[in-house]
């Protein structure tokens, strides 16, 4: 138990050091030594957990996705029929709590690998949800679920990128969700102020 606590503490220190240093200098400029010095962790300890800084960043991103998945699960259970907005709201709240980590992932640091991990994981979950919702409600999708999921996730990632880069969010999370719900229900044409074409 004490050993598990030590491992968690070490990994947390390395995670925090990575995030802070990437924000300061960018991922490419970092060395393992920079990270271990900032974390106050021996290099040998680092290498007992991770092969290199890329593996550390991948692990940190996987942990972020696991946390997000855990938060989204109850909200997703409420979306049996349509969009409630709860999953997006939970994602925005999580992004606000883990703002610096979201910033470095969504900026594409680490040759874009963490961003691809994030996007792929979200698209996989969204596609499964869209398929399941169609089956539960006995409707035939008009657009391929994988394509639809990528459109949906692409929009969310872009909104998240914009939202987390501001020290103070440009709009409250609830307002963003309300607008995205309107957008999902009515589409781009309506969102830009036009009535539906006849």
Q: What pTM was estimated for this model as a whole?
A: 0.90
CATH of the domain at 45: 1.10.10.60
Cβ atoms of 141 and 130 within 8 Å: the answer is: yes
What are the contacts of 46-51 at 24+ separation with CB within 8 A? 46/14, 49/7, 49/10, 49/11, 49/14, 50/14
Tens-level pLDDT at each residue, the chain (198 residues): 666 888 899 999 999 999 999 999 999 999 999 999 999 999 999 999 999 999 999 999 999 999 999 998 887 776 555 678 888 999 999 999 999 999 999 999 999 999 999 999 999 999 998 898 888 889 998 999 999 999 999 999 999 999 999 999 899 999 999 999 888 888 888 888 988 765
Closest C-alpha to 160, from 146, 184, 145, 180: 180
In a domain, 40, yes or no: yes
**Residue 123 in contact with residue 149, Cβ under 8 Å?**
yes
Residue 130 half-sphere exposure toward CB, CA atoms < 13 A: 20
Q: Are residues 44 and 64 in the same domain?
A: no
pLDDT value, residue 186: 86
Query: What tokens appear for 157 in the block?
Result: 């990632």
Q: For residues 59 and 122, state if they share a domain.
A: yes
Statement to judge: residues 89 and 8 lie in one domain: no
Task: Report if residue 196 sits inside a domain.
Answer: no
Instruction: State the number of CA atoms in the 13 A half-sphere of 29 facing the CB.
Output: 7
Q: Is residue 158 part of a domain?
A: yes
Same domain for 169 and 122: yes
145 found inside a domain:
yes
pLDDT of residue 132: 87
What is the count of structural domains for the chain?
A: 2
* pLDDT attached to residue 11: 94
Indicate if 167 and 101 belong to the same structural domain. yes
Q: Are residues 115 and 168 in the same domain?
A: yes
Q: 197 in a domain, yes or no?
A: no
Answer yes or no: is 169 within a domain.
Answer: yes
Q: Are residues 40 and 78 in the same domain?
A: no
Together in a domain, 38 and 61: no
**How far is C-alpha 38 from the chain's CA centre?**
25
Residue range of the domain that includes 155: 54-191
pLDDT value at residue 146: 95
Q: What is the DSSP letter of 48?
A: H
CA distances from 111 to 52, 67, 107 (A): 14, 23, 10
- Report yes or no on 184 lying in a domain: yes
C-alpha distances (whole Å) from 30 to each of 24, 102, 112, 143, 160 are 10, 18, 16, 43, 25
What pLDDT is attached to residue 133?
85
Q: Are residues 43 and 81 in the same domain?
A: no
Query: Are 117 and 93 members of one domain?
Result: yes
CATH at 149: 1.10.357
């Amino acid at each position: 138990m004490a050993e598990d606590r030590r491992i968690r503490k070490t990994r947390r220190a390395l995670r925090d050091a990575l995030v802070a240093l990437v924000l300061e200098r960018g991922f490419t400029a970092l060395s393992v030594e920079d990270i271990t010095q900032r974390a106050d962790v021996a290099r040998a300890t680092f290498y007992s957990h991770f092969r290199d800084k890329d593996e550390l960043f991948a692990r940190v991103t996987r942990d972020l996705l696991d946390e997000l998945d855990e938060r989204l699960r109850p909200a997703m259970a409420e979306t049996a029929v349509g969009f409630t907005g709860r999953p997006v709201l939970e994602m925005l709240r999580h992004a606000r709590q883990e703002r610096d980590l979201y910033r470095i992932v969504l900026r594409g640091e680490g040759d874009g690998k963490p961003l691809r991990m994030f996007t792929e994981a979200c698209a996989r979950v969204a596609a499964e949800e869209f398929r399941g919702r169609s089956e539960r409600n006995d409707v035939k999708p008009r657009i391929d679920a994988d394509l639809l999921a990528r459109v949906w996730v692409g929009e969310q990632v872009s909104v998240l990128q914009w939202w987390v880069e501001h020290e103070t969010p440009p709009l409250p999370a609830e307002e963003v969700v309300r607008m995205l719900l309107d957008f999902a229900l009515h589409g781009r044409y309506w969102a830009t102020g036009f009535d539906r074409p006849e």
